[in-house]
Amino acid sequence: MVMAANSSMFMRPAHEPLVIERAEGPWLYTKDSRRILDAGAGAVVVNIGQGREELAQVAAREMARLNYIVPVWSSAARERLTERLARWTPAGLDRFFFTSGGSEAVEAALKFAIMYQKAKGRPQKHKIISRWFSYHGNTLAALSVGGNLGRRADYEHVLLQWPHIGPPFCYRCPWGKTYPGCGIDCATALEEEIVRQGADSVAAFIAEPMMGATGGAVPPVREYWPKLAEICRRYNILLIADEVMTGFGRTGERFAVDHWKIKPDLLIGGKGLTGGYLPMGMIAVDEKLVEECEQAAADFMFYTYSAHPLACAIADKVLEIMEREHLVERAATLGAQLGAQLKERLSGHPMVGDIRGTGLFWGLEIVRDKGTKVPYAPDLRITSRLVGAALKHGLFVYPTSGMAGAAGGDGVMIAPPFVIGPAEIDYLIGNLHAALDEVHAGI
C-alpha cells in the first residue's frame, strides 16, 4: 500500500508522495515496510547517517539543561562548537554567526559583506556578483544571487538587480571552449564584470565552490578558484564561498575550498553541520573583518534562533562523530570507488550525457542526444520520472535541473551518507541503471 502524504502539506513532490516512518544509517523505511536507500542523503544533508542514539541522548540532556537564551549570550554548547569549528574551517575563519538554515546564512553573509564595506568607509561598494547555474537559497536576496532561471522566474520582477557571470562548467562551457587551452575564461569573467560594474561599486562575489543543486555536482578546473581569489583580493572584493552543500566532508575534504587551499573571506555552512539532526546554518568569517566592523561600531542583528543551544550541542556532537569515525576520509575513499563504478557501469547508457563529481558528491546529467548534448524537452519531466522510477526500485536520488539554461536540463545527484559501504554502492548503481532503462523505454 502506498501511503498518501498528509493533505495539509503545502508542497507536494513531483513523484510518488511518501510517508517515512523511521530511518537507520542510509536506509529509509516506509510505514508499509518498504526500504529505500537514501542516495541523496535527503537534500544532501544526512552526512553521518540516520538513527544515531548518541545524538538522541545529547538532545534529551541539553534540552533538560537549557532550551533558549538570547543569541547575544553564549552557552557551554556554543563555546564547545565554536572551538571545534575553528579547527574545521580554514585558518583565520574563526568568528561564527549561526542561523536556522542555509538561506538565512546566505542572507547573513551578504549583509555582512555590505556592512563591512560601509564600516570601511566604502558604502557605495554594495553590489554582489554571483554566477548563473547556482543555488544559494529560497529567500529573496539569496534568490537574487541565485542563478537557476526556473526558480527565479516567478520573482524576477522583484529580485535585486545584481550582476551574474557564467559558471565554470566544462561540459557546457558558456564560452564554447575546451579545457586545457581555454584561458580559464570562466575566472577572467569575474574581473571583466568587476571592471564593467566599477570596482568601487562591488562588495563581494559569492559562489558555490562546486556547482550543486543547479548543475549537479560540478567540480571546476583546478586553476579556477585560486584565480578568483586573486581577482577578489586585487579589487578589495570579499570572496564568499557557499559551502552549504559541499561543506563538512561532502567532497572528500572538510570544505571544498580545501581542495585548492583557498581561504575565502566568508564561508557559509548548513546541511552537514548538523547532518539533519536539527536545522542549523552558519557563516564563518575572517576574524580581522569582524574586528574591523567592531572597531567601526557596526552592529549585526541576530535571528531569534541564532546559535540555539540545542542546535549547537547537536552540531558539536555531529562533528565529533565525524572526527572519531574519520568520515571525511571515508567520503574521499568511498567517493573514489563510487565515481569509478558510476562511470564504468552507467556512462554507456543512452541517456547519460555526463558523470561528474568528487568525494561523495556526484552528478549524472541526462541528455536526449549524447553527441550534441541536447536535453529532453522540459515538459517531458525526465528528472521527476527518473526520481519516481528509482523510488519504485527502492532508491532515492536527489533531483537537479536547469543546467542547460533556457533549454532546461535534467539530472540527479548521487550524494549518499558517508556510512554507506560497497554493498550499498552496488545496490545504488544497479537500481539506478534499472530506473534509467525504464524511463528510456517509456519515452
Ligand X SMILES: Cc1ncc(COP(=O)(O)O)c(C=O)c1O
Report helix, strand or coil for 79.
helix
**Smaller CB distance to ligand X: residue 269 or 309?**
269
The four Cα atoms 383, 255, 228, 405 give a dihedral, to 10 degrees, of 10
DSSP annotation string for 113-133 = HHHHHHHTT-TT--EEEEESS
CB of residue 127 to ligand X, shortest distance in Å: 19
**Residue 309, CA atoms < 13 Å, CB-side half-sphere:** 18
Instruction: Write out the binding residues for ligand X, residues 102-141 only, by CB under 6 A.
Output: 102-103, 106, 135-138
Q: Kindly determine how many residues on this chain lie close enough to bind ligand X according to the rule CB under 6 A.
A: 17
Q: How far apart are CA 23 and CA 21, in angstroms?
A: 7
Q: How far apart are CA 291 and CA 18, in angstroms?
A: 48
Which of 38, 94, 242, 258: binder of ligand X (CB under 6 A)? Answer: 242
CB of residue 149 to ligand X, shortest distance in Å: 16
CB of residue 442 to ligand X, shortest distance in Å: 29
Q: How far apart are CA 441 and CA 18, in angstroms?
A: 25
Instruction: Write out the binding residues for ligand X, residues 17-46 only, by CB under 6 A.
Output: 43
* Among the residue ranges 17-25, 205-213, 230-238, 316-324, the one whose residues contact ligand X (CB under 6 A): 205-213
* 270 scored as a contact of ligand X (CB under 6 A): yes
Which of 244, 282, 314, 415: binder of ligand X (CB under 6 A)? Answer: 244
What mask, x for binding ligand X by CB under 6 A, covers residues 369 to 408? Answer: ----------------------------------------
Q: How far apart are CA 357 and CA 175, in angstroms?
A: 21
Q: List Cβ neighbours of 206 (8 Å cut-off, separation of 6 or more).
A: 106, 109, 110, 128, 129, 130, 136, 145, 240, 242
Written as nine digits, the cell of 17 is: 508522495
Which of 208, 253, 410, 424: binder of ligand X (CB under 6 A)? Answer: 208
* Among the residue ranges 9-17, 25-33, 95-103, 300-308, the one whose residues contact ligand X (CB under 6 A): 95-103
Which of 26, 101, 276, 399: binder of ligand X (CB under 6 A)? Answer: 101
Residues in the site for ligand X, rule: CB under 6 A?
Answer: 43, 101-103, 106, 135-138, 208, 212-213, 242, 244-245, 270, 281
